[in-house]
Homo-oligomer: A and B are copies of this chain.
Amino acid sequence: MQLTGKQLINGELVAEGTTTFHGYTPHNGKPTATAFYEATDAEIDRAVAAADRAFWTYRKTTGAARAAFLEAIATEILALGIDLIDTAAQESALPTARIEGERGRTVNQLRLFADFIRDGSWVREISSPLQLQKMPNGEPALLRQQQIALGPVAVFGASNFPLAFSVAGGDTVSALAAGCPVVFKAHPAHPATCEMVGRAIQKAAGQTGMPDGVFSMVHGASNRVGERLVQHPAIKAVGFTGSFRGGKALYDLAVRRAEPIPVYAEMGSTNPVFFLPGALAGQTDQLAAQFAASVTQGVGQFCTNPGLFVASAAATDFTNELARQLSAMPVGTMLTAGIQQAYSHGITHLRTIANTRQPTPWTGGTAQPHLLLTSVDNALQHPELSEEVFGPSTVGVLAQSKEELLSFARQLTGHLTATIHGTEADLAEYADLIDILTTKVGRLIFNGFPTGVEVNHAMVHGGPFPATTDSRSTSVGTTAIYRFTRPVCFQGFPQ
């Protein structure tokens, strides 16, 4: 595909602006070839106006019609072939196999949502007879509730999943499935991948008879583009995956609008893992190896990366083996120079905190995996030890007793996930821990690892603030659709 660097607005590639920016190749630190145009204010407004017009026809399309659209998107993404894989790998420094896997996940997600909406049962129709109103034939009038689409949605993708959490990712797919047009803010860390996937969506829309404005995409390396998008009166909801700073800034703008709108910002967390005594009694080395793999998967660049764990202070075999495993891991390349620097600064800062041990070597300036150990008391005194440093590191909090472990759990803020490793006997003894963690997270895992968020009907990828701005939702799985709907009821209408 010949890249243009232009906005995709109402079915056309346009560029009125003069400011441009380039993507970046993390492997060699060099800019990519294509110049991308910053969207002008007028272009942003045109994209939203097109979405608003499209809403009036798109919201009334059948589930079957929208399912065909989503399946056509999947087909068009696959038709991009190796070009897409190479482009995404180049822009993200993620290995080809990982990008191929992510494409599979993206395509499967589109098909899962297509199946979910096809027959219309997803609208959760509820019907009740009325006591006060009768139909002309004397029968009680009916009240029928169903979920309907909210309106045009602004979506911001994440840099760490250039396919699955980007242009055709979970936010876009669930909004389109619900009947909401999408205006996508392309991610400046992978603008070429964005253009390719955006044009695939536009092609699919044309093939399946969807209105042109059902999907538009605007580029921008500055915050201005996203800020204007979120503040446009015709935008009715926002989906976002990324940093706390970015998500919270969009939330703050959205709730201060003349008409406040919901913001679903998934902002990551440290996803604490609790290793209970029974788990560490036997298979210590295997568990340390699996945990090290989870910490370093994708160079630690997962929202569900386990950046925090809790174990007994007596579990020195485990922590020693974990240090050995992490020290032996290859040093990866991170998504952007900014992320790389933030990781390096973050670890260098954590190492200055008193009463911590760092059994892994650290030279700084790279994405070297890192382990830091501290006590519960020290962790409670230094909350930054529990805060996310995006990358392949983890902080171990060592408890002297069950009570200390529970006291640490009680003061946790909201996280996407928490994990418990233990035997069934541990579960019984630590029932309070399950109880506490249930109030803190969107997903509680037993004897697994938080990385690897499967897309299915039951998944919750969300959790209490500050993991997200709206704990009542998930950004992964089919129930993500209900972020972009609201109930309406029809009273006394003929069938």
> Which of A's residues lie within 8 Å of B, judged by CB?
56, 59-60, 126-133, 141-145, 148, 150-151, 251, 255, 259-260, 262, 424, 427, 435, 438-439, 441-448, 452, 454, 456-460, 462, 464-466, 469-474, 477, 479, 482, 485-494
Contacts and interface: CB of A to CB of B under 8 A. Distances in A.
Given A128-B457, A145-B479, A445 B491 contact: yes
Given A128-B458, A444-B489, 14 more contacts: A150-B472, A151-B439, A424-B494, A438-B488, A441-B488, A444-B488, A444-B491, A446-B490, A447-B492, A460-B487, A462-B486, A462-B487, A472-B482, A472-B485
A189 to B, nearest CB: 27
Q: Which 6 A-B pairs have the closest CB atoms?
A: A128-B456, A128-B458, A255-B255, A143-B458, A460-B489, A145-B458
A113 to B, nearest CB: 14
Contact of A444 (B260, B456, B490): B490
Most-contacted residue by chain B among A126, A448, A458 (CB, 10 A): A458
A140 B72 CA distance: 31
Contact of A489 (B260, B262, B458, B464): B458
Contact of A491 (B126, B260, B443, B465): B443
A260 B482 CA distance: 20
12 contacts: A59-B439, A132-B448, A143-B454, A148-B438, A251-B255, A259-B465, A424-B494, A442-B489, A443-B488, A443-B491, A444-B490, A460-B489
Contacts of A60: 435
B460 A132 contact: no
A123 to B, nearest CB: 13
A284 B381 CA distance: 74
Contacts of A145: 457-460, 477, 479
B459 A262 contact: no
Contacts of A456: 128-130, 143
Given A487-B442, A487-B479, A454 B132 contact: yes
Contacts of A129: 456
Contacts of A131: 454
B132 A458 contact: no
A250 to B, nearest CB: 13
A202 to B, nearest CB: 25
A129 B456 CA distance: 8
B260 A251 contact: yes
B251 A465 contact: no
A168 B446 CA distance: 40
B144 A458 contact: yes
A491 B448 contact: yes
Most-contacted residue by chain B among A131, A443, A473 (CB, 10 A): A443
Contact of A486 (B127, B260, B446, B472): B472
Nearest to A494: B424
Contacts of A487: 442, 460, 462, 472-474, 479
A472 B482 CA distance: 9
Most-contacted residue by chain B among A141, A262, A445, A479 (CB, 10 A): A445
